[in-house]
Amino acid sequence: MLHILELFKKNCIDKEKISIPPEGSEAPPAEEPTAQPMVQTTVIQNTSNQKALIQETFGYKCMWFALKNTDIDTILSNCSRLSNAKPTTWETGLQTAKDSPGKAFLSGAYESWTFLVGFGLCEPTETENFMTLMSEIGKCADEVCFFATHRVVELQCFAQSIHGKLNRYYCYCGESGHIYANIGDVTGAEKELSLNLPTNDDELFEEEFSDIDETDILLLAEKMSMNPELLIGMEEQRCVIADILHDQ
| Residue 8 reports pLDDT greater than 80 | no
24: left (phi over 0), alpha (psi -120 to 50) or beta: left
What is the rounded average pLDDT for all residues in the chain? 84
Residue 39 has pLDDT above 70, yes or no: no
pLDDT for residue 9: 53
Would you place residue 152 in the very low, low, confident or very high pLDDT band (cuts 50, 70, 90)? Answer: confident
Q: How far apart are CA 143 and CA 37, in angstroms?
A: 61
Q: How does residue 50 score in pLDDT terms, banded at 50, 70 and 90?
A: confident
- pLDDT band with cut points at 50, 70 and 90 for residue 190: very high
Band of residue 153 on the pLDDT scale cut at 50, 70, 90: confident
For the stretch 197-230, pLDDT in tens is 999 999 998 999 999 999 999 999 999 999 999 9
Run of H or E including 239: strand 239-244
- Sign of the Cα torsion 181, 184, 187, 193 reads positive
> Using DSSP, how many helices (H) and how many strands (E) does the chain show?
6, 9
Write down the pLDDT at residue 248. Answer: 44
pLDDT of 133 > 80? The answer is: yes
Quick one: how far is CA 192 from the chain centroid? 24
187-199: average pLDDT: 96
